[in-house]
Structure 1
Amino acid sequence: MYMKRIILFMTFLPLILECQNSYNLNLLGTYDWNSTEGNDIWGWVDPADESEYALVGLVNGFSCVNVTNPSNPVEEFFISDLSSTWRDVKTWGNYAYVTTEANAGLLIVDLNDMTGNTYWNIFQFNNPTTGQSTSFTASHNLYIDENGICYIFGASSNNGSNPADGAIFLDVAANPTNPHYLGAWNDEYIHDGMVRGDTLYAGCIYTGNLYVIDVSDKNNPVTIGTHPTPNAFTHNAWVSDDGNYVFTTDETSDAYIGAYDISDVTNIQEVDRIQSNPGSNSIPHNTHVDGNFIVTSWYRDGTTVHDVSNPHNMVQVAYYDSYSGSGDGFDGCWGTYPFLPSGNIISSDINSNNNNNARLLVYERNFSGACFLEGNVTDGNTGANLVGASIEILNTFIPNSSSTTLNGNYSCGNADAGLFDVKYSMPGYISDTLSVNLINGQTVIQDAQLFTDPSIPILGCMDSLASNYNPNANISVEFGGEADNTFSTGGYFNGNQHLIFDAYNEFVIKSAVFYADDNNTVTFELRNSMGTVLDDTTYTLSQGQQQLELNFNVPIGIDFQLGISSGGSGLYRNNDGAVYPYNIGSIMNITGSSATSAPDYYYFYYNIEIEVPCVGIITQSYDCDGQGNCFDPGNGNGIYSSLNDCQINCIVESYDCDGQGNCFDPGNGSGLYLSLNDCQNNCILESYDCDGQGNCFDPGNGNGIYSSLNDCQNNCHLTGTYDLQNNKKVRFITDLLGQKTIYRSNNILIYQYEDGTVEKKVIIK
């Protein structure tokens, strides 16, 4: 799982950065057009003499510029065409292929003729083998793979035909000036894409998804994987050299470059995302993989280079900001091309020259592999991983920042090697700064511990019996955001905007204050970063101020949206004076709003109440262990509800024998035997035998003739001369029926002796 990673420009560097518009990219030369704006760019090398050319799309046509001498670019020719904001270029062999959203078809230019007089505009494409065909007059973009297959993206027509607006497959290798039609994929509109082998990586801009498509069978292409991109406006995609990762751009304000693990296309995973200039609201356009680097064009931010040798930790190593303005808007750099044999990078700008028209820029590389910094941040008291802690490498030319993920890990880096200070911070904790020696091309591991600041409110469960107990918490409920709408100017608003916040722990948004212009029914929503509704509630509002119960359950994460379901709410919002971030209880951090062009606007939710309910509380109960000790089984199912009850009743087991062969617990712990087993083994019924000499004894097995000592003594005496003379011992006595009995007078008894003899006696008394 990733956490938000961005390159953060520090507040103390504005003067330095204002005059330093580049780092590790050296401008070698430029070429300006004076009457047109620019669009996309591609490169071409003449195989005859290895001259390098920039092929540049312009609003009013197509230009070929020789950049072999980068300090003195020369336009070789220009082909005028229908006016269009969009014109994209690719090559196959010695031919350039140009698409446009003007209805000019596919422009094919023979680059063998540097006069620019040999070209064709093709509208109809046939397959001479199958008889299939297609026709289009306009298209948004194209790509040509290593097999000479041209992929036309976003096609349309004004002649009544209905071309696929996904991808049209044309074989330019078979006939470069009259490509053969092979088939199409038309599940979704494709804005841009690239192909390697038999796999198409497509930016489906209107679905906000990366699509991975198997195009091995041009008559039956099959989607094999999809994944949403960070800002849900997927513009382009480019695959890594090893084929295991894809990098995307979203063509919208304040968007990201995204990195994805596609080793299993059925389970694509986002592994990182990064911005060139967070907070500026600039728009990324096209990114290209060049070995261990990606080179990207950013409107109003210029050309950037990131080290992606570790796609889980992208690090910016170079940039050249060619446009004088900043922020949201479609100005500045349109495209870039990093594949010339010289190593030079060429970029095309829409309107960056002195008269606000098109410009070509040629850059020299001065960058190397990044220095990587990774580690883990924990609570110094509890050892728990900290989620959302900030890590910032200080005093760097391209300042870098990172946040810890759900497991407390972070990753960031720097363009330059050396000894740097790294600041670790998190709301509710005392910041710490550690030194680290960074090395180009290597990953340094540095862990950190942060300790809570007792002076700062920390929201959390304070019940030690709860499963979510937080020993650092000192409050259970907190209010935050703007307290009311009086802090600045504003008014009632019918648009659909929202607040954006991060959650460092699970909590509940209990309530908030709202101001309504009139009676109206409004649905309030909690959404994730992709806009999916996680929780909502609907109220019929009355005019004026009201506090509403929300009870939104918030999980741990970033870029949540707190807003409304649709426009027309008539809720109050402030249009000035908001100072982000608003931290509430050290677990909710409101970082901004969806109005990226108006960073000081504040929307709808005032005096936000949040709490962390204690969960998983188990009732105390106790059992006795049989040894006189009480314990809590931990499941609430103990016999005793209190420790006192248990201690009163928990007496160590002991047992006595009742003399009848039965064992019993006297209930006071003083029994002769400590276990029932010991008692049962020793508790044998008393019985007695006479030894024939007038003596009584207990044989110890319960089988004596007499049941009491008294009976034995009354009957155990010499009974005749025979007994006395022979001194024989009686074994047992039976009656005439053979049943054992005891001595009785006036009865006939049979005596059996131990020597085996038997004697019949009549005892008369």
Structure 2
Amino acid sequence: MKKLFIFCLLVAFNIQGFSQSLNMSLVGSYQSSWNNSRGSDVWGWVDGIGTEYALVGLRDRFSVINLSNPASPTEEFYIDESAYQSNWRDVKTFGNYAYITTEAYEGLLIVDLNDMTGNTFWRVSTFNHPNNGSSVYFLAARNLYIDENGIAYIFGASDPALPANDSTQPNGVIFLDVASNPTNPEYLGGWQDYYTNDGMVRGDTLWAACMGEGKFFGIDVSNKSNPIVMGQQSSPTGFTNNCWVSDNGDYLFVSEEVTNGYIASYDVTDLSNIVEVDRVQSTPGIPSSPKNVIVDGNFLICSYYRDGTVVYDITFPNSMIEIGYYDSFTGVGSGYDGNWGIYPFLPSNLILATDINTNPTGNGKLNIYDRQFQQGCFVEGTVTDASNGNPLDGVNVEILTTQATTSTNITGDYAIGTASSGTYNIVFLKAMYASDTVSVNLSNGVILPLNVSLDPVPAFGVSGTVTNSSGTGISNAEVLIYNSNISQSVTTDVNGNFSINSVSGQHFYDDYYEIVVGKWSYRTSCHNEYISSATNNLSITLDYGYYDDFTFDFGWTVSGQATDGMWGVGDPEGTSSQGTNLNPEDDVNGDCYVNAYVTDPAAGNQAGSNDVDDGDAILTSPIFDLSSYSTPYIHYYRWFANAYGNSPDDSLIVRITDGNSTVDVEVITANSPNLSSWQQNSFKVSDYLAPTSSMQIIFYTADLQSGSNNYVEAGVDKFQVSNSITPPTSVVDLSEKGFILYPNPSNNFIVVKSEEIGDVEIYNLLGEKLLESRKYTLLKEIDISVLPKGLYIIKLGEISSKFVKTN
């Protein structure tokens, strides 16, 4: 399910909808004879009199569907594959023959499509070279592709007589000539450098997607007996599933078959310097996975599992625009079901799409779509400095009321677009420059030239003093001042003073900023404030106490023998496996910044990539003095994940020490409740040890069973001490889920601060959506100058708030 919108507006009236399609319509479907059979890939074929057919792979059959009446398709015939059942079948054609691979031990199924009784077919597993006497044998294969010359490329084949890891397994790419002998193809050679799960060929270039390597390869196959790698490139997350080259051969589009994977585009004009130029997700911020991509002229047709069939305009490969979709699956999230196969090349322009299942328990289904989408509306140009004419790089360009955003390159150039024609406001924004909003009329299929010059604004420095509650300056306090454009940090001097000098390049301009100040043995302070050249001297007071949300480095130490997954501080990256979340995506809500201590904050290529392995990982706090506390309590948040592999039996142990004795306070295991989510714990120190001036808290986790393949991950955040079992109130004024909106009221812009990522939507009191903007980072500045005076609702995910627009 691609779009689900639930929004409670003011007096509890609900606007709820499921947007199943955009610029695509369902003409017909077929599944009536496919009871309990899962669907896989699809291809199309046209006979000599122009009748169109869908060739569908299913778990237990190969099915040929007559599309003479696409609103009511019929099964012409099927070949029973119940003896070769597999969830994976791939189909391609050459001439009047269909070629089908499967991961069952069947070999290559060859079907004569001239015989619509379905009685003429062959299963071939041995293929001989016409000249040198060599041969290749396989029974299972992952995918295949047949080029314009009748050369079939078999991907990820296997010979069950050989061990799976045998170096002679033909699991790279096999080259077969199906043009010379369609029913007994000849073996021409192969490329066996890496396991290859999919690919395609144009001319003499093979594009191979090798998920195990996390890369795609460009290979010269003009000499089938001696293929040569010309270039290679990693995909964004390393789950490189399939690829398709543009019609002009200049760009390659790659899908990543993983939750939160991308569809990425690459400039491949120079194979020694392949450059990623864009990446997109169907539903950013909502777990989903792409499957396959196929280039159809200026359109990229994508199967997107639970998001259905999605279409992008790739007129500008560096600015892919979603212009259509049809969501055929009733579920939502990161499951690997829904849409698998796509085929867009029928003369009728119909798009064929196969669902693995129409819902989590359903059988396969063929969907037939009509196109209502057309080429998008584009704007391109150059942004320059108005004072000297120099190009500006890194200018944020956004089309308001859409999700379209981009930034200028090193020469100041940009290209951006949206699916529908109309009048739009385009905002150009760069730090140290006055933003500009330009109103334009956009038309489908038209590229509008738009050059913009931005006026620089004067820079200034910021200074200030950090004191304790008695007014004494605090030395060596950490100061962080930032917003969505600028981030500067400094340490106070011996008198608690600090200065960030604009002459040194550390500059500010009139705007709202987040100001975070902290030091060990003080409670961190954070708030937002408008800073101008007239109000650039700050005064911050810190209260005594212990608090650490890891905005700053207060001296926690990391030790242990683990070979991977050591504790590290950073913005956590979430992971999931088999539909289950393991690592939380963010730190705790309600603190000052995005950081936490995690057993390696980076997600890696997949769940478990950066977990704790073959040893222990220990996180130890700086010493803290509890001798002056009456009844000290320690509060902290933690999470733990321990799953998969061989009987997970690992733990996260929380300990307290006075330098002489160490006591276990909490032990979390694979059987504990609420794993993989932030949980707060508080304890009275004297229940374990007498409070002293040399206390430390220790977080210990380990994977001591080598080769167990268990996932071991943990996180810690928001440590603090108080004299009450109730944790102190937050150091920052946060509403639900850490949502801050300022300034409010406002005339020109508002800033949204939240760790929530997603679409920021602004509504009037009638429930009409007026503005929409994509939020990717902690802070998001939104231009509201186009709105009339009044009261508005702003929504981010399930969070909503009100603001006032002034004149």
Same fold flag (TM > 0.5): yes
**In the TM superposition, what are the counterparts of 1:331-730 in structure 2 within 5 Å?**
331-352=337-358, 356-374=362-380, 385=392, 387=394, 389=396, 391-394=398-401, 399-403=403-407, 410-422=414-426, 434-444=438-448, 445=450, 447=452, 459-460=487-488, 462-470=500-508, 499=571, 541-542=619-620, 568=712, 570-572=714-716, 579=737
Letter in 2 for 1:206: G
Once the two structures are superposed, residues 427-454 of structure 1 have per-residue CA deviations (whole angstroms, 9 ceiling, x without a partner) of: 9999875422112222232648598999
Counterpart of 1:250 in structure 2 is 256
Once the two structures are superposed, residues 311-335 of structure 1 have per-residue CA deviations (whole angstroms, 9 ceiling, x without a partner) of: 1221121111111222211111101
Counterpart of 1:727 in structure 2 is none
Inter-partner Cα distance in structure 1 for 2:71 and 2:621: 67
Residue 300 (str. 1) matches residue 338 (str. 2): no
Letter in 1 for 2:55: L
Tell whether the 8 Å contact from 1:513 to 1:545 is kept in structure 2 after alignment: no
SS in 2 for 1:465: helix
Letter in 1 for 2:620: S
Counterpart of 1:644 in structure 2 is none
| TM value normalised by structure 1 | 0.62
Counterpart of 1:99 in structure 2 is 101
Inter-partner Cα distance in structure 2 for 1:446 and 1:183: 52
Given the superposition, is the C-alpha separation of residues 434 and 340 from structure 1 closer, same or farther in structure 2, using an over 3 Å criterion?
A: same
Residue 278 (str. 1) matches residue 284 (str. 2): yes
Counterpart of 2:28 in structure 1 is 29
Counterpart of 2:46 in structure 1 is 45
Tell whether the 8 Å contact from 1:38 to 1:351 is kept in structure 2 after alignment: yes
Tell whether the 8 Å contact from 2:154 to 2:173 is kept in structure 1 after alignment: yes
SS in 2 for 1:265: coil
Inter-partner Cα distance in structure 1 for 2:71 and 2:188: 43
What is the aligned residue count? 541
Once the two structures are superposed, residues 604-644 of structure 1 have per-residue CA deviations (whole angstroms, 9 ceiling, x without a partner) of: xxxx9xxxxxxxxxxxxxxxxxxxxxxxxxxxxxxxxxxxx
Residue 267 (str. 1) matches residue 273 (str. 2): yes
Tell whether the 8 Å contact from 1:9 to 1:278 is kept in structure 2 after alignment: no
Tell whether the 8 Å contact from 2:159 to 2:170 is kept in structure 1 after alignment: no
Given the superposition, is the C-alpha separation of residues 252 and 407 from structure 1 closer, same or farther in structure 2, using an over 3 Å criterion?
A: farther
Given the superposition, is the C-alpha separation of residues 202 and 354 from structure 1 closer, same or farther in structure 2, using an over 3 Å criterion?
A: closer
Inter-partner Cα distance in structure 2 for 1:168 and 1:362: 32
Cα distance, 1:66 vs structure 2: 0.8
Structure with greater Cα Rg = 1
Tell whether the 8 Å contact from 2:5 to 2:17 is kept in structure 1 after alignment: no
Once the two structures are superposed, residues 232-280 of structure 1 have per-residue CA deviations (whole angstroms, 9 ceiling, x without a partner) of: 1111111111111111111111122111111111111111122222122
Letter in 1 for 2:149: N
Inter-partner Cα distance in structure 1 for 2:127 and 2:407: 52
Once the two structures are superposed, residues 281-331 of structure 1 have per-residue CA deviations (whole angstroms, 9 ceiling, x without a partner) of: 211111111111111111111111111122122112111111122221111
Cα distance, 1:149 vs structure 2: 0.7
Given the superposition, is the C-alpha separation of residues 530 and 58 from structure 1 closer, same or farther in structure 2, using an over 3 Å criterion?
A: closer
Letter in 1 for 2:420: D
Given the superposition, is the C-alpha separation of residues 83 and 524 from structure 1 closer, same or farther in structure 2, using an over 3 Å criterion?
A: closer
SS in 1 for 2:309: strand
Tell whether the 8 Å contact from 1:190 to 1:204 is kept in structure 2 after alignment: yes
Cα distance, 1:373 vs structure 2: 2.7
Tell whether the 8 Å contact from 2:399 to 2:424 is kept in structure 1 after alignment: no
Tell whether the 8 Å contact from 2:128 to 2:186 is kept in structure 1 after alignment: yes
Counterpart of 2:475 in structure 1 is none
Letter in 1 for 2:109: L
SS in 2 for 1:460: strand
Counterpart of 2:323 in structure 1 is 317
Inter-partner Cα distance in structure 2 for 1:448 and 1:478: 37
Structure 1 residue aligned with 2:155, among 153, 156, 159? 153
Inter-partner Cα distance in structure 1 for 2:79 and 2:244: 29
Inter-partner Cα distance in structure 1 for 2:417 and 2:16: 19
Name whichever of 91-100 and 355-364 sits farther off: 355-364
SS in 2 for 1:310: coil
Cα distance, 1:417 vs structure 2: 1.3
Inter-partner Cα distance in structure 2 for 1:222 and 1:353: 44
Residue 137 (str. 1) matches residue 139 (str. 2): yes
Inter-partner Cα distance in structure 2 for 1:475 and 1:22: 41
Given the superposition, is the C-alpha separation of residues 542 and 108 from structure 1 closer, same or farther in structure 2, using an over 3 Å criterion?
A: same
Letter in 2 for 1:541: L
Tell whether the 8 Å contact from 1:76 to 1:114 is kept in structure 2 after alignment: yes
Letter in 2 for 1:393: L
Counterpart of 1:68 in structure 2 is 68
Inter-partner Cα distance in structure 2 for 1:104 and 1:111: 19
Structure 1 residue aligned with 2:233, among 218, 227, 231? 227
Name whichever of 383-392 and 103-112 sits farther off: 383-392
Cα distance, 1:146 vs structure 2: 0.9
| TM value normalised by structure 2 | 0.59
Residue 90 (str. 1) matches residue 106 (str. 2): no
Inter-partner Cα distance in structure 2 for 1:93 and 1:299: 30
**In the TM superposition, what are the counterparts of 1:106-255 in structure 2 within 5 Å?**
106-160=108-162, 162-255=168-261
Inter-partner Cα distance in structure 1 for 2:189 and 2:526: 55
Once the two structures are superposed, residues 385-412 of structure 1 have per-residue CA deviations (whole angstroms, 9 ceiling, x without a partner) of: 5747462431x6xx43445556766533
Given the superposition, is the C-alpha separation of residues 264 and 460 from structure 1 closer, same or farther in structure 2, using an over 3 Å criterion?
A: same
SS in 2 for 1:266: coil
Given the superposition, is the C-alpha separation of residues 300 and 175 from structure 1 closer, same or farther in structure 2, using an over 3 Å criterion?
A: same
SS in 1 for 2:340: strand
Once the two structures are superposed, residues 493-551 of structure 1 have per-residue CA deviations (whole angstroms, 9 ceiling, x without a partner) of: x98997369xxxxxxxx9998679xxxxx777799999999xxxx9953379999xxxx
Inter-partner Cα distance in structure 2 for 1:250 and 1:405: 25
Inter-partner Cα distance in structure 2 for 1:530 and 1:355: 26
SS in 1 for 2:63: strand
Letter in 2 for 1:134: V
Tell whether the 8 Å contact from 2:199 to 2:243 is kept in structure 1 after alignment: yes
Given the superposition, is the C-alpha separation of residues 418 and 267 from structure 1 closer, same or farther in structure 2, using an over 3 Å criterion?
A: same
Cα distance, 1:485 vs structure 2: 7.5
Given the superposition, is the C-alpha separation of residues 296 and 469 from structure 1 closer, same or farther in structure 2, using an over 3 Å criterion?
A: same
Inter-partner Cα distance in structure 1 for 2:86 and 2:98: 18
Inter-partner Cα distance in structure 1 for 2:608 and 2:270: 26
Counterpart of 2:533 in structure 1 is none
The root-mean-square deviation of aligned C-alpha atoms, in Å, is: 4.7
% same residue: 43
Tell whether the 8 Å contact from 1:372 to 1:412 is kept in structure 2 after alignment: yes
Given the superposition, is the C-alpha separation of residues 375 and 253 from structure 1 closer, same or farther in structure 2, using an over 3 Å criterion?
A: farther
Tell whether the 8 Å contact from 1:298 to 1:334 is kept in structure 2 after alignment: yes
Once the two structures are superposed, residues 354-380 of structure 1 have per-residue CA deviations (whole angstroms, 9 ceiling, x without a partner) of: 961111111111121110134567899
